[in-house]
Amino acid sequence: MPSAFVGVVRSVIKEVDQRGELIPVDSLRNSTSIRPYCLLSRKHSTSWFWKPHYTCVNLSIKDILEPSAPEPELEYHGHFHFSDVVDGNVQGSVGLSGTGQGKISGGAAVSRSSSASVNVHLLRVAQNTWEMLRRERHLRQPEHKILQELRSRGCDVFVVTEVLQTQEEMQVTRTHNQKGSGQFAVLGAISLQGEGQGHRNQKKMVTIPAGSILAFQVAKLLIGPKWDILLFPDKKQRTFELPPTGHRKDCSMIGKLLECIGDDFTSDGVLEEEVIGEDFQGLCAEVKAASRKLEHLDMELRQELLVNIGKILQDQPSMEALEAMLEQGLCSGEQVEPLDGPAGRILECLVLSSGEMVMELAAPVSYLLEALTDLSPALSETQQQLLAMSLETTVLSKHLELVKHILERTTPWQKRSCVSLPSRLLRDSWDEEAPTWVLLEECGLRLQVNTPQVHWEPESQGPTCALYACLALLSTLSQKPC
């Protein structure tokens, strides 16, 4: 069952924000740390098809400006009350009897229920407030150490301009019950008969405190000799001023990842946006470029990578440590420090004896790790564990083919749609316990059992594309070398 908190956030945003401008909070922990005027960072993605998540940097706008006066008051913009109660039940039975020789019968029932009642309001920083702040407050000197670090890593910085906040404590409850029974009798010289039954009950309940943030909106900070904000997104404008083109080192992960293609790049080594269209064919081109160098690794190295990737999939701190080390090495080009455990063994496969990183191998692994952990919303812990259990060629290819079928038939991804699933892709394993079902449901897709279907939601694009990329790269590692 997907997260109860994430479920209620999605439901509320659908009602409040028809244009999709609000960014959902992805965990209960983050709902208490994101506030108006607080600063968030986000690194540049290696992909055109998903965005890295926003990270709190434990700073407010007043921490980087002087004089350090209190933050101006907020505007209240709308109060909303939602009550969402769902109660569903499906039952079925079947019987089979021969000509006096025996009888088989069985029945099953599945029920789901959920309930949530929430009062929320929007809090917003007025536009004239930003104009007043720009006139009256200046960047603090020397620059805050956290900003210096973000500048060196090439991250962008954003300020929270609007939030959707709960007005009172709320409880969200979800239940999922399954029951089954069966009987059989075989008549003859030796008579056999038997019966059995079973059930499985799941219940999730979460308490969301008053004052929790369910969704937010941001503006990009521009930091140079003076400061400003971009209330409307601009992909090309960066938070920190960059040195002239001829004097700067390109830390673009997408450039590092795809530089082997050559012809598809600008003089800066950054992929032209027009080369990769934002559709399934573009996703395939990006993933193929990422996996190209992995296709020629010898089998021993492939197995070493695959085994240890399976281990760090179940160890979030190790995965994050490896990702940070790869990011550092790819941007600096310098030697990297060794790591312990499975993350260290993966790193050993990607560096020379001198400690310098082999860019052509490190970039695809970094791309894989971002797809697993960095996007918003990120692949869940459940999905990561299922991937760790699926590191066999036949299982990965089965999952990959089904996800490919869905992405091909839901273009354009910005529209809701419904996709039927052919039986050849399901292989008698389409139910709520099947790994493929769970992988897709955790992406935010709504699934149907009786007539196998997937109901596509636009907000599922990021995690579904990332899931496809993970499956494709892991499948490449599990196959024999070209």
Judged against a pLDDT cut of 60, whether residue 386 lies above it is answered with: yes
- CA distances (Å), origin 99, targets 94, 102, 187, 188, 195: 17, 8, 10, 12, 21
Q: What's the confidence (pLDDT) of residue 457? A: 86
Q: What's the confidence (pLDDT) of residue 20? A: 77
Q: Which residue has 């990965």 as its token pair? A: 396
Nearest residue to 425 via CA among 465, 464, 398: 398
What tens digit of pLDDT does each residue of 395-428 get? 888 899 999 999 999 988 988 899 999 888 887 6
Buried-state track 35-63, b at ≥16 Cβ within 10 A, e below 16: bbbbbbbbbbbbbbbbebbbbebebbbbb
What tens digit of pLDDT does each residue of 335-374 get? 888 899 999 999 999 998 888 888 888 889 989 998 888 7
Q: Mean pLDDT throughout 134-146?
A: 92
Higher local confidence (pLDDT), 38 or 81: 38
What tens digit of pLDDT does each residue of 223-265 get? 988 999 998 877 778 898 765 544 344 444 444 454 543 334 3
**DSSP label of 101:** S
Backbone dihedral angles phi then psi of residue 117, each to the nearest 5 degrees:
-135, 125
* Alpha-carbon span 470 to 373, nearest angstrom: 11
Q: What's the confidence (pLDDT) of residue 402? A: 94
Judged against a pLDDT cut of 60, whether residue 322 lies above it is answered with: yes
What tens digit of pLDDT does each residue of 151-203 get? 877 789 999 999 999 998 888 777 766 565 556 565 555 566 666 666 566 67
Q: What's the confidence (pLDDT) of residue 184? A: 54
Q: What's the confidence (pLDDT) of residue 46? A: 76
Q: Which residue has 């790994």 as its token pair? A: 435
Dihedral sign from CA coordinates of 159, 161, 167, 169: negative
Three-state secondary structure call for residue 166: strand
Please say whether the beta carbons of 321 and 339 come within 8 A.
yes
Binning pLDDT at 50, 70 and 90, where does residue 269 land? very low
